[in-house]
Amino acid sequence: MSGRTIPRRDFVAGSVTAPLALGALGCSPNDEAAVQESEPQALDSAVVVGPVPLASPIRGLQAERMRLAAERRAGIPARVASWGEELEHVRSQVRAARDAGVNAFMVPVVSGEHEPAASENLRRFHEAVAALRDEVVAVLNLDGLVSAVVTGRVGLIPWFQGAKMIEADLALFAAYRASGAGIMAPTHLWKMPYGDGAFERSDQGLTATGRLAIRAMNRERIVIDLSGMGPRSCLDAMEESEHPVIFSHSNARAVHDHPMNLGDEHLRACAELGGVVGVSAFPTCVSAGDNPTADDVLRHLDHIVEVAGIDHVALGLDFTDLPRKRFPSDPVPDPPYRFPEGFSGFEDLPRLRDRLAERGYGEDDRGKILGGNMVRVLRGVWGDGAG
Amino acid sequence: MSHPFDPALLAEARALQDDILVVNGLDASLLNEEVVRTLKAGGVHMNMSTLPDLSLSSPFHQFMLDHADDLVPVTTVAGIHAARAAGKVAVGYCWQWVDVDEDLSQLAGYHRIGLRSSGLVYNVGNYIGSGCVDPNPGPLSHYGIQVVEALQELRIVVDIGGHCSEATSYDVLEVAEGPVVCSHTNPLALRDNPRCMTDGLMRAIADTGGVIGIAAFNFFVVREGQATLEEFLRQLDHMIDVAGVDHVGIGLDQIIGRNDRGPVNPVTLPPEAYPQRYEDWIYVEGLHDFTGVPLITAGLLERGYAPEDIEKIMGANWLRVWAEVWGD
């Protein structure tokens, strides 16, 4: 068996690989009338979280390749689901999010893919959104988010890990922004033409190209996500960026020292830019023990609030079952992961509100943590409306 | 006193080249008529050509077929000797960086097409390591280590090119087994340019049994004006002094057919390393194409190098390393 067994289907006649062509598929079902009628405060109590990967194959070719490789290693026969079955997985996942009060969550569309796989992933994403349009909305701008809230659908925010489809061809940021890349992590966990990843052998800071990439992302109003980037590169990027940045799923090194987690210097720099840090439940990033708890996750949140402030924290969740280990030295185990009890899926979010209250976070604070802070950054970087 | 341009000495140099096998260890030219013509006129028997696009759809395959009377693609040292015997110029295929989008399974196919030598990083950091103009140079990445291992597994020559940072270069020497080459560079001791190489790194490459090729790119020899053949030969002397006569070759790095006009990209080709207009990408006096190769041979004769040492410098050192790495 090889990576070629990735389940796939023919999506549309002809081959649509250019990212700009995706808009032509009409896959962004923002309900314009509803959006226009909505009050500006529609987003005041929005719950915006993530990233959380969707069911394959929508979650991407690289993820599928790694899943199949891991299952092969474990002797598990390849499971090949049909596109329809995959859509049903996504539908139940989206319903779980909706039932937990989630208005929108970030969805990894690209996780380290180069072209043409990256465009193919983006096409699958839009195809899935189109198929599920009565329950989901693709959130490509603030209107999309408002649309999700006022129509009661779940917003899916395409999220890109690694701008490998762009590299030094910086003009492509505009093309990807236009077709959905509202949030991008310029580097993944390993070395890139822009800088070093958190799992690298070195910690070298941004390259000249990396600095230009940060400026290009500012220019195109793409939210810069620095989760997974190495410490020096992160500091350089925050120095270079004129806009707030996010760490979509990163915890505090002061609570648990792990390469994915952030030192206080980084937390403060992020706060100074007006950004947010999304707390991750990924067990290896929560604690050194085998059985992290929801309280362990919240200790990270408390620390980030203490150092960065209540306006700079969010819920990164990172509920994933996908393999992360690429090189033997990578500081992550193979799946299945043991997520903290009480903090392992969307269904835990209602109880999480109570836990936050128990820890002394008032209603306003809870609103900021669950989405208010993230909405502030999205609005600040994207601008109001569809712009 | 004779001079490399002296007709009698040049005739002697040409005669010597007819007795030895002359190898240009790195060429960045587009394969075109001018390259074919000047390779033959300059008495070059083997040219290692940079082919960024080695895919099956690349037009160079047809070019090679159309010029089968003059050119022979080679993947072995035996093939180079056979081409020489048939009166044709041998052409090897190389890359200056590994561009497979982190998918090393593609390497086997490129090896099958003929890839026999490859660089890793081109001036600025990539997935593999850092480049010679990076502000914060560092070692190979995890993937970079896999790249070196994969190249060696396929018996493709690992070439630090001169475009890798010093830190990445030393790391390559650490990871690689057997000879590592630097196909085209110049001594930093005589020309302060980030693209040039320290004496220490040249010695380290020699210690692997490898070869360092000298480039004829004007700006790697002098900061301003036209570099003379004398200045170029002084650099060659220095490299031989430092690395030893068994570890130096030529890798002239011409860009025939690729010499564009206008501004260059200052990020990948910054002003401290490259002239900022392509018009100024010129070559050492007499070495703008391959017709000047006998000038190098003549210069070495004039400087008193023994014919057997000239044979090594002008080709045999490359052949030794290729035979060892390619395994023929």
| Residue A136: predicted pLDDT | 97
In a domain, A255, yes or no: yes
In a domain, A72, yes or no: yes
The conformation of residue A341, written as its DSSP 8-state character, comes to B
| Angle, CA of B135, B247 and B312, to the nearest 5° | 140
Which structure tokens are listed for A250?
């990163």
Question: Do A367 and A45 contact (CB within 8 A), yes or no?
Answer: yes
On chain A, the residues whose CB falls within 8 A of the CB of B267 are 168, 208-209, 212
- What one-character-per-residue DSSP string does B167-227 give? HHHHHHHHH--S--BEEEE-BTTTS--TTSB-HHHHHHHHHTT--EEEP-BGGGT-SSSPP
CATH number of the domain enclosing A187: 3.20.20.140
Q: Is A195 on the interface with B (CB under 8 A)?
A: yes
Calpha distance B298→B312 (Å, rounded)? 15
Percent of chain B surpassing pLDDT 70: 99
Of B102, B139, B146, which is closest to A202 when you measure between CB atoms? B139
In a domain, B307, yes or no: yes
Q: Bigger pLDDT: A19 or B82?
A: B82
Query: Tell me, what amino acid is at A213?
Result: A
In a domain, B168, yes or no: no
In a domain, A162, yes or no: yes
Of B103, B143, B268, which is closest to A191 when you measure between CB atoms? B143
Alpha-carbon distance B144 to nearest alpha carbon in chain A (angstroms): 9
Is the pLDDT at B246 greater than 70, yes or no? yes
Q: Which helix or strand (DSSP H or E) is residue B158 part of?
A: strand B157-158
Is the pLDDT at B44 greater than 80, yes or no? yes
Residue B5 binned pLDDT confidence (cut-offs 50, 70, 90): confident
Q: Is A105 on the interface with B (CB under 8 A)?
A: no
Quick one: average pLDDT of B319-324?
98
Does the interface ipTM go beyond 0.95? no
Which structure tokens are listed for B176?
């690689």
Nearest residue to A97 (alpha-carbon basis) of A29, A161, A47, A30: A47
Cis (ω within 30 of 0) for the bond into B294?
no
In a domain, B29, yes or no: yes
End-to-end CA distance of chain A: 46
Least confident piece of the model among A27-36, A280-289, B45-54, B79-88: A27-36
Angle between helices A208-219 and A231-240 (to 10 degrees): 50
Q: Is A207 on the interface with B (CB under 8 A)?
A: yes
| Total structural domains within chain B | 1
Cis (ω within 30 of 0) for the bond into A116?
yes
Which structure tokens are listed for B292?
């000047």
CATH number of the domain enclosing B191: 3.20.20.140
Question: Do A61 and A6 contact (CB within 8 A), yes or no?
Answer: yes
Greatest extent of chain B over all pairs of C-alpha atoms, in Å: 57
The conformation of residue A55, written as its DSSP 8-state character, comes to S
| Residue A24: predicted pLDDT | 34
> CB-based contacts of A376: which residues, under 8 Å, 6+ apart?
A274, A276, A311
Residue-wise pLDDT tens for chain A (387 aa)? 333 333 333 322 223 333 333 333 333 444 555 555 555 678 989 999 989 988 765 666 667 777 777 777 788 776 667 788 888 889 999 999 999 999 999 999 999 999 988 998 898 899 999 999 999 999 999 999 999 999 999 999 999 999 999 999 999 999 999 988 999 999 989 999 999 999 999 999 999 999 999 999 999 999 999 999 999 999 999 999 999 999 999 999 999 999 999 999 999 999 999 999 999 999 999 999 889 999 999 999 999 999 999 999 999 999 988 888 999 999 999 889 999 999 999 999 999 999 999 999 999 999 999 999 999 999 999 998 765
Helix (H, G, I), strand (E, B) or coil at B16: helix
On chain A, the residues whose CB falls within 8 A of the CB of B138 are 196, 201-204
Contact A193 B134 (CB under 8 A): no
Could you give phi then psi for residue B118, rounded to 5 degrees?
-150, 135
Long-range contacts of the stretch A73-80 (C-beta < 8 A, 24+): A73/A334, A74/A334, A78/A1, A78/A5, A80/A5, A80/A7
Which structure tokens are listed for B194?
């980030």
Continuous H helices in chain B: 7-19, 33-41, 60-66, 77-85, 107-113, 142-153, 166-175, 199-207, 229-243, 293-302, 307-311, 317-326
The conformation of residue A377, written as its DSSP 8-state character, comes to H
Residue B268 binned pLDDT confidence (cut-offs 50, 70, 90): very high
| Residue A36: predicted pLDDT | 56
Alpha-carbon distance B7 to nearest alpha carbon in chain A (angstroms): 49
Task: Please compute, for residue A157, the number of CA atoms within 13 A of its CA located in the half-sphere on the CB side.
Answer: 29
Contact A193 B128 (CB under 8 A): no
Calpha distance A129→A357 (Å, rounded)? 35
- Cα nearest neighbour of B129 on chain A: A191
Calpha distance B148→B139 (Å, rounded)? 13
The conformation of residue B279, written as its DSSP 8-state character, comes to G
Nearest residue to B121 (alpha-carbon basis) of B166, B178, B163, B59: B163
| Residue A33: predicted pLDDT | 54
Nearest residue to A89 (alpha-carbon basis) of A64, A57, A119, A127: A57
Of A192, A204, A327, which is closest to B142 when you measure between CB atoms? A327
In a domain, A14, yes or no: no
Q: Is A164 on the interface with B (CB under 8 A)?
A: yes
| Residue A82: predicted pLDDT | 79
In a domain, A10, yes or no: no
Q: Which helix or strand (DSSP H or E) is residue A175 part of?
A: helix A172-178
Contact A193 B127 (CB under 8 A): yes
| Total structural domains within chain A | 1
| Residue A34: predicted pLDDT | 53
In a domain, B157, yes or no: no
In a domain, A208, yes or no: yes
Is the dihedral angle over the CA atoms A83, A84, A88, A91 positive or is it negative? positive
On chain B, the residues whose CB falls within 8 A of the CB of A190 are 127, 141-143
Looking up tokens 């997985």, which residue turns up? A89
In a domain, A353, yes or no: yes
Quick one: average pLDDT of B116-144?
96
How buried is B256 (Cβ within 10 angstroms: 0-12 exposed, 13-18 middle, 19+ buried)?
buried
| Residue A57: predicted pLDDT | 52
Looking up tokens 């979010």, which residue turns up? A349
Nearest residue to A240 (alpha-carbon basis) of A262, A224, A263: A224
On chain B, the residues whose CB falls within 8 A of the CB of A209 are 124-125, 267-268
- What one-character-per-residue DSSP string does A109-164 give? EEES--TTHHHHHHHHHHHHHHHTTTTEEE-SSHHHHHHHHHHTPEEEEEEEE--T
| Residue A67: predicted pLDDT | 73
| Residue A61: predicted pLDDT | 66
In a domain, B227, yes or no: yes
Q: Give Cα A44 to chain centroid, integer Å.
A: 21
Per-residue pLDDT reduced to its tens digit, B187-206: 999 999 999 999 999 999 99
Alpha-carbon distance B127 to nearest alpha carbon in chain A (angstroms): 5
Contact B138 A192 (CB under 8 A): no
| Residue B328: predicted pLDDT | 77
In a domain, B178, yes or no: no
Domain encompassing residue A44: 36-382
Per-residue pLDDT reduced to its tens digit, B154-164: 999 999 999 99
In a domain, A115, yes or no: yes
Nearest residue to B315 (alpha-carbon basis) of B292, B328, B296: B296
In a domain, B17, yes or no: yes
Of A114, A207, A327, which is closest to B134 when you measure between CB atoms? A207
